[in-house]
Amino acid sequence: MVTRTLFLCALFAVSSAAPLQDAAVEDGDASPAVPDRCAGLEFDAITPNEKGNTLFFKGNYVWTGFTGPAQLSTLYFRELNGPVDAAFRMHNPENAGDHDHIYLFKDDKVYSYFNQNLEEGYPKQIQEDFPAIPTHLDAAVECPKGECMTDSVLFFKGQDVHVYDIATKTMKTKTWSHLPACTSVFRWLEHYYCFHGQNFTRFHPVSGEVVGAYPKDARHYFMNCPNFGHGGDRKPLKCRDVKLDAVTTDDGGRTYFFAGPIYMRVDTHRDGFHAFPITRAWQEVNDGVDAVFSYDSKIYLIKGDQVYIYKADAHFTLIEGYPKTVKEELGIEGPVDAAFVCPNENTAHVIQGNRMRDVVLTATPRVVAREMPLPLSDIDAGLCGEQGIKIFKGSQFYHYDSPMILAMGRIAPVPEDITPAMMGCEE
Ligand SMILES: *[C@@H]1O[C@H](CO)[C@@H](O)[C@H](O)[C@H]1NC(C)=O
């Protein structure tokens, strides 16, 4: 599945920050000093940048994204002189002054960059910014509140982990001797990875616990290397070619787009947009979806005349007895084009052709309470949130303030284009 994940991942990948692409080191005339990340490197540091592209540092070089070429790190970080020890992206939404800044550590100094510009007053002594944090670090990583107790930074040196609270500027030291000595640490899609040699080990950011079969070889997951099984066509998706099957936001605030065999989470866009096989999250749904909606801490995936209902926790668990037929579950015949439930409501708005049927989810058995013609047809997906309803059709969407306005409107509003910011496609 690894292979497929990366391949699909790349399909949707946002082209890595291109402004300096011209200065890229070409494969052909690369001097012997240019490192090859497929040769089994040990990275000095890894961090996302302010756009969600991952930066991998080694010596005087940096790679942007999982597929970019090696570039001199001074192209992005002009004032940098030689290798870095550690890097992280600041997560401090309380303070716009340093939120999303890229912090680089070298010996006893810290550099703070934003949009490739060094902030005034940097480099500084590490302790001026981060009291009690040691010099000559091995690694650093952001740890937002919710994943750590408070908005924090984890600093690594040897087997010691210094947990730094950003707001109080205090730190606690733990020793995780069961972890390998991390030369870089990377937070990606809410998970934490300690890189050591060419390998990485995933750990829990509070307990340090390692669950699962580690170490794993980074070349299978975080880069595109020949003979590691994930070559193939990596054409980025154009926004005008987008065609969704479904979209939903679950009760945990996670928003998912579905298209063909893949899904993508868009609320984690700070880490870039990455697509994965639907079966990675919803194991039993192996033929794509027609419509998806969320209700009462559950997610309903509809395909043909079948409904799969999953309990939405950290993982999705298929509820016993499912799939069932659409008829049995919702009181209407499948297939379904789109479906959505608005926040704090108990009605599924089910779209079939140019009709919308309202199914009351608190009633047993389920019955259609209302049926209305719509001013649109060939609808792909629908999403209802605090900002109203988005009805997706091809590469465009229509905005409505409420289901009532959607059903009562005689003419459709002017459609808007799906943008790169919405789902990481290209203009
Ligand atoms: C990397 O991990 C593999 C297992 O995936 C292991 O066989 C190998 O010894 C590890 N190498 C290092 C340098 O840790």
* H or E segment to which residue 382 belongs: strand 381-385
For every residue of 142-168, DSSP letters joined together read EE-BTTBSSSEEEEEETTEEEEEETTT
Give the Å distance between the CA of 35 and the centre of ligand 1.
20
**What is the spatial distance between Cα 273 and Cα 252, in angstroms, rounded to a whole number?**
19
The token pair that represents 195 in the structure block = 């890189």
- In which residue ranges of the chain is pLDDT below 50? 1-30, 230-234
What structural domains does the chain harbor?
Answer: 4-232 (2.110.10.10), 239-423 (2.110.10.10)
Q: Closest ligand 1 atom to the C-alpha of 196?
A: 14
Q: 345 CB less than 6 Å from ligand 1? A: no
**What is the spatial distance between Cα 405 and Cα 381, in angstroms, rounded to a whole number?**
17
Q: 215 CB less than 6 Å from ligand 1? A: yes
pLDDT at residue 33, as a whole number: 74
Residues 6 or more apart whose CB falls under 8 angstroms from that of 378 comprise 337, 393
Residue of 42, 193, 196, 217 to mutate, ligand 1, most atoms within 8 A of C-beta: 217
* H or E segment to which residue 405 belongs: helix 403-408
Cα angle, residue 186 at apex, residues 182 and 187 outer, rounded to 5°: 135
pLDDT at residue 6, as a whole number: 38
Q: 221 CB less than 6 Å from ligand 1? A: no
Give the Å distance between the CA of 214 and the centre of ligand 1.
9
Q: How far is CA 392 from the centre of its chain?
A: 21
Give the Å distance between the CA of 201 and the centre of ligand 1.
10
pLDDT at residue 236, as a whole number: 67
> Nearest Cα to 83, choosing from 108, 106, 117, 109?
106
CB-CB neighbours of 209 under 10 Å: 12
Q: Closest ligand 1 atom to the C-alpha of 213?
A: 5
- Residue 212 to residues 123, 130, 176, Cα–Cα distance (Å): 39, 33, 17
- The torsion angles phi and psi of 281, rounded to 5 degrees, stand at -100, -35
> Nearest Cα to 146, choosing from 197, 60, 64, 206?
206
Q: 197 CB less than 6 Å from ligand 1? A: yes
Q: Closest ligand 1 atom to the C-alpha of 180?
A: 14
349 annotated to a ligand binding site: no
274 annotated to a ligand binding site: yes
- Residue 388 to residues 11, 23, 94, Cα–Cα distance (Å): 30, 44, 27
pTM of the model: 0.76
Residue nearest atom 13 of ligand 1, based on CA coordinates: 197
Q: 216 CB less than 6 Å from ligand 1? A: yes
